[in-house]
């Protein structure tokens, strides 16, 4: 884990100290926050993917306590998964109260990669973090869905190895849809994320890009973009 950056969101000072100690002993760099608001304020640059300081570097994994003094860690998980760019695929380990099965189910459905119930063994905690980093390290630069492959480095999309020759906005739209496969994304949300502008009125720009993307995806078997009328768009596995 040497050189890896781990984001810790935990309100219990003792637990935080122990977590920091065991991860630092394995060579990790730590970003920490004791509340939901502190995490949002301190790591705003993480979600913008524009780190401005040494303590704003993008993490390789995160351990987030669900029960925070000012809300739920599940809300932070939602924001991470809804963020644009590579931060949305951040590996997340949820720290839960013993027996909180409902939170565990909700967290996994929101995209958590793993969970650990308190109290836990510190060596097991560190091993879980290391496993998340190993598991995602080889795939974080590429996403696959059906016959689609997305290269997050070159911003290229392929269907059975054939380049789809997507424009920048087409690729950005497809990436959002793939990352949220099966989930309807509002048109306002897509417009704001891809164009980087406040959603005023949805112009024909989004419809044109979606239409072009559908045509280019026609060769992709078992994958299609669907329009949920009045709600938005989603990627469907046929």
CA 2 remoteness from chain centre: 23
Architecture of the domain spanning 5-137: 3-Layer(aba) Sandwich (3.40)
The residue written with tokens 């980093």 in the block is 133
Distance between CA atoms of residues 159 and 141, nearest Å: 17
State the average pLDDT over residues 116-133.
93
Whether 144 has a pLDDT exceeding 90, the answer reads no
pLDDT of the residue at 100: 74
State the average pLDDT over residues 155-175.
89
Domain 142-237: assigned CATH number: 1.10.10.10
Give CB contacts under 8 A, 24+ apart, made by 162-166: 162/219, 164/216, 164/217, 164/219, 165/216, 166/213, 166/216
State the average pLDDT over residues 46-70.
69
Distance between CA atoms of residues 105 and 112, nearest Å: 10
Contact 52, 34 (CB under 8 A): no
pLDDT of the residue at 201: 59
The percent of residues above 90 in pLDDT, for the chain, comes to 38
Residues of CATH 3.40.50.2300 domain(s) within the chain?
5-137
Confidence tier at 56 by pLDDT (50, 70, 90): very low
The chain-wide mean pLDDT, for the chain, equals 84
Confidence tier at 68 by pLDDT (50, 70, 90): very high
pLDDT digits (tens, 9 = 90+) for 69-97: 999 999 999 988 877 556 777 899 999 98
The model carries a pTM of: 0.57
State the average pLDDT over residues 166-191.
88
Whether 55 has a pLDDT exceeding 70, the answer reads no
Residues of CATH 1.10.10.10 domain(s) within the chain?
142-237
């Amino acid at each position: 884990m040497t050189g890896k950056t781990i984001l810790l969101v935990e309100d219990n000072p003792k637990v935080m100290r122990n977590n920091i100690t065991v991860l630092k002993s394995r060579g990790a760099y730590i970003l920490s926050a004791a509340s939901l608001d502190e995490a949002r304020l301190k790591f705003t640059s993480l979600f913008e993917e524009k780190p401005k300081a040494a303590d704003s570097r993008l993490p390789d994994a995160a351990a987030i306590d669900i029960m925070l003094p000012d809300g739920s860690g599940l809300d932070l998980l939602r924001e991470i998964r809804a963020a644009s760019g590579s931060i949305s695929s951040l590996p997340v380990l949820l720290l839960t109260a013993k027996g909180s099965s409902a939170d565990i189910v909700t967290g996994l459905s929101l995209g958590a990669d793993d969970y650990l119930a308190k109290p836990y063994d510190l060596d097991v905690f560190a091993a879980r973090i290391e496993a998340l980093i190993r598991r995602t390290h080889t795939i974080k630069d590429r996403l696959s869905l059906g016959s689609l492959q997305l290269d997050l480095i070159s911003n290229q999309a392929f269907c059975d190895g054939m380049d789809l020759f997507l424009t920048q906005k087409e690729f950005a739209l497809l990436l959002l849809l793939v990352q949220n496969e099966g989930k309807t994304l509002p048109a306002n949300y897509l417009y704001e994320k891809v164009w980087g502008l406040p959603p005023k009125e949805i112009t024909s720009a989004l419809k044109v890009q979606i239409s072009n993307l559908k045509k280019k995806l026609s060769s992709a078997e078992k994958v299609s973009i669907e329009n949920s009328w009045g709600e938005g768009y989603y990627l469907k596995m046929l």
